[in-house]
Amino acid sequence: MTKADLPTFEPRGRKVKILATIGPASSDPDVLRELFRAGADAFRFNMSHGDHAVHEKNFRTVRALEKEFGRPIAILCDLQGPKLRVGTFKDGKATITHGARFTLDRNEEPGDATRVCLPHPELWETLEVGHRLLVNDGKIRLRVKELAEDAAHCVAEVGGVISDRKGVNVPDSEVPIPALTAKDKKDLAFAMEHGADWIGLSFVQRPADIEEAKALMAGRGFLCAKIEKPQAVERIDEIIAAADGIMVARGDLGVELNPEEVPPLQKKIVNATRLTGKPVIVATQMLESMIESPTPTRAEVSDVANAVYDGADAVMLSAETAAGDWPEEAVMMMDSIARQVEADDGYRMRVRMLDTPPDRTTADALAHACMTIGDTIDIAAIAVFTSSGSSARRVARERPAMPLMVLTPSLAVARRVALLWGAHAVATKDIGSFEEMIAKGRRMALRHGFGKPGANVAMLAGVPFGRSGATNLLHVVTLSGDELDDYEGDAADEPDA
């Protein structure tokens, strides 16, 4: 077989990943194909919307795209979580005037301009005088002035129109409800059955929330903890340690906190997660105006750029691709912003401003050495052989200047790594010897466009081969091109089913 007969899977050419949400505007297979072509590296399924039949169809579409383009694609299923909501109103809505008294109670009768039911008994155990209740994404702000056994008498610090079943945020209380509702558990079982790579856990408040979800996942897929409550911010280090990745979900976080508190918190959370080598996603309202407009605001462009400069692993599009009028253009714009930032001469310095000292292990020392070797001599790429993805996360944590090619015998691991900064994942058969490692590393680097004959590639692996957690080998090789001439066919590299 000659080089011309081999499929080519060109890398994206950028380090930060793009996570695009699927919805009514993008569930058509042709639209999803164009989103992938435009730059989407992973797709988010919002389990708050759509039924399982719709999500099952989208699973099939994304997996078909994988086969068509020969590149692993991550699927993140985002669970709805325990959303608190008011009851209903006699006329479907009511108007609360500024400064007026308004009562939340346990009476299931339809509400009016003076009261409405709050059908969450667990909330009454935590409410105190002075606590805030934010309704409809914070558009209405109530403060508790007096508590009775079955009623919270509030004053409307900010009034407005309130309608049936609007969401309620309680930023001053840690509500004693589990992070997984009955619906979430059904959605989680569905996601695991269909091979979701990541689960987004909403409204995390404590590490125990993560442990409960992971127990149900039973080792299938990775868990991404969404940081959107003040209680999670207060325990951020514990939550990062318990989760496999973190999402800075600025929507609800911006409701429960003052808006000016969110930007520094975003940087703090990104940095704290980066120190562990786990992926961190910045999400919500990144290109919000592109829901209706083909171009974003300058402020939105700067917002995306800042997340890229901070070294986030991925940036996310929500309604822009799920329900907007310009889904493909939104992905193209995010891709263009990321490329422009990464081409900036100051990008490498900015992204390495965070000191990520290696742990005192051989694996961490070698991962750190990959970066310093690349800074010292001309390296076209780093090839990491991994069975769990751990070695790839260690190398990516260093934010090396050169591309990162992740070679793994597990298609599941290749998909999960698709959200990792700079990683181009390749699912391929495992290696059994040093000679096989060199040959496969050279061949894959040539096939995937990570260098031409004469270029140097750093290879990171573990001996004995095939054992997880045994990274202890770093070798620099020069590509020759002979590997492709002697290649016996695609089947020799395809991973076992």
Among candidate residues 14, 15, 17, 44, the one labeled active-site is 44
Of all helices (H) and strands (E), which one includes residue 407?
A: strand 404-408
Among candidate residues 284, 408, 428, 471, the one labeled active-site is 284
Spatial separation of the C-alpha atoms in residues 427 and 439, rounded to whole Å: 16
DSSP designation for 491? G
The 3-state secondary structure of 326-387 reads CHHHHHHHHHHHHHHHHCCCCHHHHHCCCCCCCCCCHHHHHHHHHHHHHHHCCCCEEEEECC
Contact 108, 87 (CB under 8 A): yes
Contact 253, 229 (CB under 8 A): yes
Of all helices (H) and strands (E), which one includes residue 392?
A: helix 390-397
- Return the CATH number at 118: 2.40.33.10
Spatial separation of the C-alpha atoms in residues 13 and 177, rounded to whole Å: 44
Whether pLDDT at 5 is above 60: no
Structure confidence at residue 385 (pLDDT): 94
Structure confidence at residue 480 (pLDDT): 87
Whether pLDDT at 409 is above 70: yes
Structure confidence at residue 173 (pLDDT): 84
- Shared domain for 291 and 150, answered yes or no, is no
Note whether residue 337 is domain-resident.
Answer: yes
Contact 246, 278 (CB under 8 A): yes
- Shared domain for 375 and 454, answered yes or no, is yes
**Spatial CB neighbours of 296, under 8 Å, sequence gap ≥ 6:** 287, 289, 290, 333
- Shared domain for 483 and 375, answered yes or no, is yes
For the segment 153-171, the average pLDDT, to the nearest whole number, is 94
Structure confidence at residue 444 (pLDDT): 93
* Structural domain ending residue among the three candidates 120, 152, 169: 169
Whether pLDDT at 59 is above 50: yes
pLDDT band (50, 70, 90) for residue 183? very high
Spatial separation of the C-alpha atoms in residues 39 and 331, rounded to whole Å: 6
Note whether residue 10 is domain-resident.
Answer: yes
Structure confidence at residue 2 (pLDDT): 36
Determine the structural domain holding residue 128 and report its residue range.
84-169
Spatial separation of the C-alpha atoms in residues 477 and 466, rounded to whole Å: 21
Nearest to 359 by CA among 390, 324, 333, 315: 390
- Shared domain for 145 and 209, answered yes or no, is no
pLDDT band (50, 70, 90) for residue 77? very high
Is-catalytic flag, 185? Answer: no
Structure confidence at residue 497 (pLDDT): 47
Q: Tens digits of per-residue pLDDT, 198-234?
A: 999 999 999 999 999 999 999 999 999 999 999 999 9
For the segment 409-435, the average pLDDT, to the nearest whole number, is 93
* Structural domain ending residue among the three candidates 281, 314, 347: 347
- Shared domain for 143 and 228, answered yes or no, is no
User: For residues 48 and 177, which has the higher predicted lDDT (pLDDT)?
Assistant: 48
Whether pLDDT at 4 is above 60: no
Whether pLDDT at 186 is above 90: yes
Among candidate residues 226, 397, 399, 415, the one labeled active-site is 226
Is-catalytic flag, 452? Answer: no
* Structural domain ending residue among the three candidates 142, 169, 196: 169
Among candidate residues 33, 63, 83, 85, the one labeled active-site is 85
Whether pLDDT at 1 is above 50: no
| Strand residues in 132-251 grouped as ranges (E) | 132-135, 140-148, 151-158, 160-163, 167-169, 198-201, 222-227, 245-249
Q: Which amino acid is at 296?
A: P
Structure confidence at residue 360 (pLDDT): 87
pTM of the complete model: 0.91
Spatial separation of the C-alpha atoms in residues 76 and 198, rounded to whole Å: 4
- Shared domain for 46 and 74, answered yes or no, is yes
Note whether residue 64 is domain-resident.
Answer: yes
- Shared domain for 302 and 440, answered yes or no, is no
Alpha carbon of residue 453 to chain centroid: 36
The 3-state secondary structure of 259-303 reads HHHHHHHHHHHHHHHHHHCCCEEEECCCCHHHHCCCCCCHHHHHH
Whether pLDDT at 87 is above 80: yes
Number of domains, the chain: 3
Note whether residue 354 is domain-resident.
Answer: no
Structure confidence at residue 483 (pLDDT): 66
Whether pLDDT at 491 is above 90: no
Note whether residue 236 is domain-resident.
Answer: yes
Q: Tens digits of per-residue pLDDT, 165-179?
A: 898 999 888 888 888
Alpha carbon of residue 80 to chain centroid: 15
Note whether residue 356 is domain-resident.
Answer: no
Q: Tens digits of per-residue pLDDT, 301-330?
A: 999 999 999 999 999 999 999 999 999 999
- Shared domain for 26 and 109, answered yes or no, is no
- Shared domain for 16 and 130, answered yes or no, is no
Lowest mean pLDDT among 4-8, 90-94, 119-123, 408-412: 4-8
Q: Tens digits of per-residue pLDDT, 250-293?
A: 988 988 888 899 999 999 999 999 999 999 999 999 999 999 99
For the segment 365-374, the average pLDDT, to the nearest whole number, is 91
Residue with tokens 């994942």: 425
Whether pLDDT at 60 is above 90: yes
Note whether residue 45 is domain-resident.
Answer: yes
Structure confidence at residue 488 (pLDDT): 55
Spatial separation of the C-alpha atoms in residues 270 and 280, rounded to whole Å: 6
Is-catalytic flag, 8? Answer: no
- Shared domain for 133 and 255, answered yes or no, is no
Is-catalytic flag, 143? Answer: no
